[in-house]
Structure 1
Amino acid sequence: MDILVNLEKLNSHVRKVLVPFSQAMIALHGDNLKSISLYGSAVGEDFIPKKSNVNLLLVMERIDPPDLKKSLKLINQGRKKGIVPLLLTVEHIKSSTDTFPIEFLEMKESYSLIYGKDILGELEVKGRNVRLQCEQQLKGGLIRLYQVYLEIGMKEKRIRSLLVNSLTSLIPIFRSLLRLKGKALPVKKRDIISDLEREFTVNGALFLKVLEMKEGKKVKDNLEKLFGDYLEEVEKLCIICDRMEL
């Protein structure tokens, strides 16, 4: 266990499932495995044992079919315990910060190195790439809202699901918009929405209603109006993002 680091900072449940999995991966891949980092909710206070995922970034020198094949059994065992591994090569990460800037920043801002080289800590992500991905995600999300609505109409259960799934995908974008403003980044979704409203004068109360739907609370608003207002706010964010100067 002495080759693993920062274990004392972890939730006891996370440590219990992470340590044997990490040790087995190191034994399996040897020098080809360069780094293991824990990221996401398992690093912070929001982790819920047996409900939240234990997200692991495993950085390899190479990933060939034989490397994948010999990992199958161990990774399947890990998944049963809530471990969600992401395997990437060193070169893939270094060449992809312009393609997936938000994903790497989200990892970088909430991670703990467990083994090997601190590759996430060394990453540099440029603001212009973050803004571009925000715009792509917002506009892509808006198109999806249009398309799915045309497929399902005003079927209440499916519209609720559509709104909840949309907001879930947009929360990291909201954080990144705040990041581009140079603001301290809140962790809780309600705080993210409140800060977004304050910085960009959007209808935060509307997004909070959808968040309440996600949390299983009853929202008595007219669903058709709620959906229309939601579209309007996402459209507004698309324009704001397009015109943002860094």
Structure 2
Amino acid sequence: MIKLLNIQELQKSKWPELLHSTFGENLVSAFLHGNCLMEGFSALDSPWTVSFILKDNSPAVLAKAHELTKQAKRENIQFGYFFTPTELLKSLDTFPLEYLHIANRSAALCGIQPLAGFVPERAKLRLQCERELRGFLVHLREGFVNTKAGKALDKMMNEAIKDILPVLYGVYFLETGTYPESHQQVFERYPELKNENLITAIEGIVNKVDSMEEK
């Protein structure tokens, strides 16, 4: 297995040209995003995620990706989402948190930079963050009750913090108007994540987000 270890290797590899030759003029953008661009990512342990904006994402067009998936897997690449420009525009208020991440933490392999300059509608982002946090709390309490105290519980809580960080980036944006540069910025703004029981900490953050509705 050949593993491309950093963004520069990917951008200089055969993949930009391979993707362009596969999708042709239909390709608007192919870009890296998600966990692979977050701190702590290691290409030795996890794959790169490449998503696409295509003028046409019909099944006939998507089938062209089949010829690349085996090779992509060998080189530690997985294909993610396949948007059209119209779908993106129509769903800006449906997935504001996901698009906030793509707009601020993505790297184009070919084509345009996705969602450049996108700023989510505050009310929609607040609602999604609240919904995600409340759902997270439901599962966190369940895990807390069903996990034995000690190392197992500590591990579960540490994993839970990793899982909720993308949502906390959205909360940070709601409070400051800026996208965090690092996890550390999030932890500095919400020190209770490490200084309190995680359930109590998230409950407090949910209350903050809930109170934003009145502003």
Return the TM-score normalized by structure 1.
0.72
User: What CA distance in whole angstroms lies between the structure 2 residues aligned with 1:44 and 1:155?
Assistant: 30
The one-letter amino acid of 1:108's match is A
User: What CA distance in whole angstroms lies between the structure 1 residues aligned with 2:194 and 2:155?
Assistant: 19
Quick check: 1:40–1:111 contact (8 Å CA) kept in 2? yes
Quick check: 2:29–2:111 contact (8 Å CA) kept in 1? yes
Please state if 1:205 is matched with 2:194: yes
User: What CA distance in whole angstroms lies between the structure 2 residues aligned with 1:191 and 1:41?
Assistant: 17
**C-alpha RMSD over aligned residues:** 2.8
**Given the alignment, which residue of 88, 98, 113 partners 2:108?**
113
Quote the offset at 1:155 in angstroms. Answer: 5.9
The one-letter amino acid of 2:78's match is V
User: What CA distance in whole angstroms lies between the structure 2 residues aligned with 1:232 and 1:46?
Assistant: 26
Mean Cα deviation higher: 114-123 or 124-133: 114-123
User: What CA distance in whole angstroms lies between the structure 2 residues aligned with 1:13 and 1:46?
Assistant: 18
**Given the alignment, which residue of 111, 119, 128 partners 2:123?**
128
Structure 2 residue aligned with 1:7:
none
User: What CA distance in whole angstroms lies between the structure 2 residues aligned with 1:136 and 1:47?
Assistant: 27
Please state if 1:56 is matched with 2:45: no
SS at match of 2:14: helix
Structure 1 residue aligned with 2:26:
32
Quote the offset at 1:108 in angstroms. Answer: 0.7
Q: Taking CA–CA contacts closer than 8 Å with sequence separation of 6 or more, which of the two structures ends up with the larger relative contact order?
A: 2
> How many residues are treated as equivalent by the alignment?
208
Quick check: 1:34–1:117 contact (8 Å CA) kept in 2? yes
Residue correspondence of structure 1 range 13-162 to structure 2 within 5 A: 13-16=9-12, 19-40=13-34, 48-51=42-45, 53-86=47-80, 87-121=82-116, 123-150=118-145, 152-154=146-148, 156=150, 158-162=152-156
* Distance verdict in 2 for CA 1:46–1:232, change over 3 Å: closer
Q: Where in structure 1 are there 5+ consecutive unaligned residues? A: 1-9, 198-202, 208-228
Return the TM-score normalized by structure 2.
0.80
**Given the alignment, which residue of 190, 200, 203 partners 1:232?**
200
Note the alpha carbon deviations across 1:5-42, whole angstroms, 9 max, x for none. Answer: xxxxx7443334xx322222221222222212233576
Q: Where in structure 2 are there 5+ consecutive unaligned residues? A: 1-5
- % same residue: 21
User: What CA distance in whole angstroms lies between the structure 2 residues aligned with 1:162 and 1:45?
Assistant: 20
* Distance verdict in 2 for CA 1:187–1:119, change over 3 Å: closer
Quote the offset at 1:65 in angstroms. Answer: 2.4
SS at match of 1:181: helix
Quick check: 2:10–2:109 contact (8 Å CA) kept in 1? no
